[in-house]
Structure 1
Amino acid sequence: MRLYDRPYLILAATTLIWAGNAIASRLAIGHVSPMMLTTLRWVGTLSLMIAIAGGAFVREWPQIRAHWKWLAIMGVVGFTGFNALFYLAALYTTAVNIGIIQGSIPVMVLAGAYLVHRTAVTPLQGIGIVVTIVGVALLAARGDIAVLTGLAFNLGDLLMLVACLGYAAYTVALRNRPPISARPFFMALALVALVSSLPLLAAETVHGTALWPDLNGWLIILYVAVLPGFVAQLFFMRGVELIGPGRAGLWVNLVPVWSAILGPLILGEVFAWYHAVALLLVLGGIAIAESGKR
């Protein structure tokens, strides 16, 4: 059986690549600035999408043009906003923290679906949401109750939390996705992401903090454009195709696990007791929420 027909292998690879994105964001410090990384990532990803989906994009252009406002909002919130905040957060927090907070997205989506679509939430799902929120709060407070009472949170953790809330909103809004095939749809969002990242890059340049990539920076850009930006998207779409969105979505829970392994292993980050407790709470909350599905 081919790798592309093995859902568990390709979904495990997908989450490993996404966790690697957190590592790459930390490795990028001093080699390429966050907004430069965001823009050049989308240049690379869009180039690859043009190669594989350009023809389909042209064929479905009437539908794309008819829904351009919706696509523009989705691209700005789900792609540009998430990635810009993701790479900016890496200046202030660790890859382990980024991965654990990113792992809370499934529960944020569950809560968002209830608020927007009034999707029924069972008591167990409600408990799961609360447990996950406690885990993220413990992580942001670094295990110190004084941080919670003084609201002295790490800026990077707060930026990552906002990024995840935006991506959860994007995911909830996908329920109203227009009738556009997957690859042209993704290419349209990538095009919006590139265009909308340019003002952020301009602001970074005017502020004097823009950093053109050196050799290491280009290698990081190559990684984030090809693997998280392109391969992981195709892998995840294939996983959804093979086992359905519900079961495939559960694999997102592996992102904080991979990050907890890769952060200390590659970056030498400290894995403290509160990381372990937060990880257990986030994964436990998701498990409780999933067990409460109708």
Structure 2
Amino acid sequence: MSQGSRSGSLTAYALYAAGTALMAANPLIGRAVAHTVPPVGMAFWRWLLAFLIVLPFALAGLKTHRHAILGQWRRFLLLGVLGQGISGAVVYMGLERTSATNASLIYAMSPVMILIIAALWLREQVGARQLAGIGLAIVGVAAILTRGELEALLALRFNVGDLLILAGATSWAVYTILLRGSRTPLPVVTAFAANALAGVLVLAPFYVWETLAVRPVPATATTLLSILGVALFASVLAFVAYQKTIAMMGPARAGTALYVSPLWTALAATVLLGEQLQAFHLLGALLILPGVAMATWPQKPATAPCPAEA
């Protein structure tokens, strides 16, 4: 291996490691401030700040493609409901009731959800290896939902927070499929900005209601830093790192970031949030992560899935 290729490889893997760690920032910060910052407010300001951060880089594309974007405004609002509403605010509601570790492991199911929905909705074929992976991942999520207790499964007793995270993962899967089926492909940064703005518009009325009827976002330095953290690290920088990793490593290897990020979350949640790893966490990880890998690893070159948000 030449010196140049060795250096490029090291850069790619360093970027890969940084990107997977950045993805973990959302459940970590979301859980840390779950009882301080209300969930809709967290999602609203996260995506407004993310939009403002990328706007200087996306403005030219937004102007060039404004007619295509306005012509599909209903579709963009639907994407806002799915990607920033349910996969944003609802996930933060879940983080009020469950751990960051649980949330990250459950959300790692979203690529499998994409595969299941594509098979049922778009009639895409699913092979034996993929079916086995789906089965493993589903059993792993069941282990998380039941805390490893068979009695909870038989009695259908589940943590509400875990179910909200599962709803967010399912919504993200539908969101990803709709993005993949776009009739008017936009430049990557332009699409990111348009989707973020649509999410802000969808969240705005709910944010006003939450502020007036429930509780406002507290105007503190901790709140500002927390929201800026999820906007900059978990949204913009994670997105940029993921796109750069795809360019340097290819979509198949870059896509494995979706399996590695929950491990960062579990480690950081143990150190920073004082969460304790339980046997059911390990069981869930040992089933979900290999299951997702088996189900989604491409047999031929393909486009890597979108990174998970939680």
Q: Which residue does the alignment assign to 1:236?
A: 242
Aligned CA distance change for structure 1 residues 80 and 291 (closer, same or farther; 3 Å): closer
The DSSP-based 3-state class of the residue aligned with 1:172 is helix
Distance 2:30 2:151 in 1: 29
Equivalent in 97, 102, 114 of residue 97 of structure 1: 102
- Cα distance in 1, alignment partners of residues 127 and 258 from structure 2: 21
Pair 1:122 & 2:124 matched: no
Give the number of the structure whose residues are more often helix, by fraction: 1
Match of 2:29 among 24, 33, 43: 24
- Which residue in 2 is equivalent to 1:258? 264
Residue 194 (str. 1) matches residue 194 (str. 2):
no
TM-score (norm 2): 0.89
2:15–2:245 Cα contact (<8 Å) kept: yes
CA offset at residue 30 of structure 1? 3.7
- Show the counterpart of 2:214: 208
**Partner Cα distance (2:24, 2:298) in 1:** 27
| Paired position in structure 1 for 2:306 | none
Q: For 1:4 and 1:163, how far apart are their aligned partners in 2?
A: 34
1:55 and 2:63 equivalent? no
1:108 is the counterpart of 2:113: yes
Distance 2:11 2:177 in 1: 27
Structure 1's unaligned 5+ residue stretches are none
Inter-CA distance 43–174: structure 2 relative to 1 (3 Å threshold): closer
- Deviations along 1:50-98, one digit per CA (max 9) or x if unpaired, are 1211122112112212222222211221122211112111100001001
Q: Write the distance in 1 (CA, Å) between the matches of 2:177 and 2:292.
A: 17
The answer (yes or no) to whether the contact 1:11–1:248 under 8 Å persists in 2 is: yes
Distance in 1 (CA, whole Å) between partners of 2:298 and 2:253 is 14
Following superposition, the deviation at residue 180 of structure 1 comes to: 1.5
Q: In the aligned structure 2, how far is the partner of 1:148 from the partner of 1:279?
A: 18
Give, in angstroms, the shift of residue 170 of structure 1: 1.0
1:170 to 169, 175, 187: 175
* Partner Cα separation in structure 2 for residue 58 and residue 291 of structure 1: 37
SS in 1 for 2:194: helix
Instruction: Give the 3 Å change call, closer, same or farther, for CA 3–152 of structure 1 in structure 2.
Output: farther
> Is contact 1:31-1:213 (8 Å) kept?
no
Return 82-91 or 65-74, whichever deviates more: 65-74
Identity of aligned residues (%): 30
Match of 1:7 among 9, 12, 17: 12
Aligned partner letter, 2:23: W
Q: What does residue 38 of structure 2 align with?
A: 33
What per-residue deviation string (whole Å, max 9, x for no partner) do you get for residues 221-251 of structure 1?
Answer: 1101111121111221222233343332222
